[in-house]
Structure 1
């Protein structure tokens, strides 16, 4: 991973949509509007008091919940060091994530890009959250096309067990930020989920506009996931029991 992405202006609001298509054992698809934040974890947005309810970032929402005592960056450093990747003090860490709105957040997916001071991409970490309060991080081996494949190791949905692998495609540039995740099982595509948006500078005016047009976004995400789950259950899609969570969710 020698070539780093050309990044949008940071911090940015990435405004677009999320789509999800299940191919088997039944066809089911949906799409809804969404937005995420793209931020530097060492320079999180500093909002005036009256805007803070619309965007909050906490270490306990990611990785080891601040166990390192050094915030999100510290936890990421511990995670990477356990995999023989060592953060340099000059490395920049970008995070694509949902922010807390009115104290609530649900972040199905967080992506971390680690860049050296010359812009070279050193690591990409892909953190998956489920509705049971668990999360799991994967260190990706990204190729020059922004693609990676990794075995599934974390229970996300009651309609999928732990078998299969993820094919992941990432794009990070001034015109588009997108993440596509395909779940394959025995060479067959089970489902594809994509979040895609256009980054724009996170000005106060932009935050107010997006907050009004995407009212209570984290709350809507939580509700929509459960609503789609009920639809699948009513269609009698088989349910897989949830395994006991690992001792360390990010290990």
Structure 2
């Protein structure tokens, strides 16, 4: 892919990312797992529909605007992300979204990423986090003055949102992003003293052709349904290891941590 990432997405291309996702819990109770997950990278307003993928329509894989950007289940899609970026002082960028799409109408995505791009330069990221209790919170990550985010750069945010019922509402997130036309690698390291979690995802990007999408459905059947089953399965494993359950706190007042 010789064109810049922005140019590809503005041209309506949808890219497939068969990602390897890992989670490793640190501290008194250790737990780790890894599995494959299918992400798509696209410009929501320009993505061309194709066999097995649609926008705001039922298909094998689909993006529905209401699933992302703003209140969960009532989102505004890319318009919300542009508003958040502009409110922070960043305009005239390509807004892209990296998602786990709906699968046969079913949706759940633990974390999606809104990207602000100029050419191949990544200037800011909104990490849109969903928990299994129907709540959502987002973290806006960028350098001062929106200097480009390089692969080795670390961006931090204070944890403000309850994700796992087996972790306290404390600590700091350390984000790293490496995204290009060749692939994507993202790591999120939550540090809370000697406790914490390291989550990573990485994979190569390629056009989301019908054969690639069909192959993904056959290789990792269930899509988002499979992901939610894996989440509950690992929650059970943690409980059996003796992890204590934390009650659900109220969500943060603000929609986005900046």
Residue 139 of structure 1 and its aligned partner are, at CA, apart by 0.8
Residue 204 of structure 1 and its aligned partner are, at CA, apart by 1.1
1:34 matched to 2:64? The reply is no
Unaligned runs of 5+ in 1: 1-5
**TM-score in terms of structure 2 length:** 0.83
Residue 123 of structure 1 and its aligned partner are, at CA, apart by 2.1
CA change 1:165–1:62 in 2 (3 A) is: same
In the aligned structure 2, how far is the partner of 1:228 from the partner of 1:242? 18
Choose the corresponding residue for 2:162, options 155, 159, 175: 155
Deviates more, 1:149-158 or 1:239-248: 239-248
Report if aligned partners of 1:20, 1:29 keep a CA contact under 8 Å in 2: yes
In the aligned structure 1, how far is the partner of 2:25 from the partner of 2:59? 35
Aligned to 1:206: 212
In the aligned structure 1, how far is the partner of 2:120 from the partner of 2:34? 34
In the aligned structure 1, how far is the partner of 2:251 from the partner of 2:98? 25
Aligned to 2:243: 237
Aligned to 1:78: 83
Choose the corresponding residue for 2:234, options 222, 225, 228: 228
1:21 matched to 2:11? The reply is no
Report if aligned partners of 1:63, 1:135 keep a CA contact under 8 Å in 2: no
Report if aligned partners of 2:26, 2:197 keep a CA contact under 8 Å in 1: yes
Choose the corresponding residue for 1:56, options 44, 51, 62: 62
In the aligned structure 2, how far is the partner of 1:41 from the partner of 1:147? 27
Could you report, residue by residue, the CA deviation over 1:195-227 in whole angstroms, capped at 9, with x for unpaired residues? 111111111111111111111110010000011
Choose the corresponding residue for 1:94, options 93, 96, 102: 96
Higher RCO (CA 8 Å, separation ≥ 6 residues) = 1
Residue 67 of structure 1 and its aligned partner are, at CA, apart by 9.8
In the aligned structure 2, how far is the partner of 1:25 from the partner of 1:44? 45
In the aligned structure 1, how far is the partner of 2:121 from the partner of 2:214? 34
**TM-score in terms of structure 1 length:** 0.86
Choose the corresponding residue for 1:108, options 95, 107, 110: 110
Report if aligned partners of 1:12, 1:37 keep a CA contact under 8 Å in 2: yes
Residue 241 of structure 1 and its aligned partner are, at CA, apart by 1.2
Could you report, residue by residue, the CA deviation over 1:174-213 in whole angstroms, capped at 9, with x for unpaired residues? 3321211111013x35111111111111111111111111
Deviates more, 1:195-204 or 1:217-226: 195-204
Which secondary structure state, in structure 1, belongs to the residue aligned with residue 176 of structure 2? strand
Aligned to 2:47: 44
Measured on the aligned residues, the alpha-carbon RMSD in Å equals: 2.5
CA change 1:67–1:156 in 2 (3 A) is: closer
Deviates more, 1:46-55 or 1:106-115: 46-55
Which secondary structure state, in structure 2, belongs to the residue aligned with residue 229 of structure 1? helix
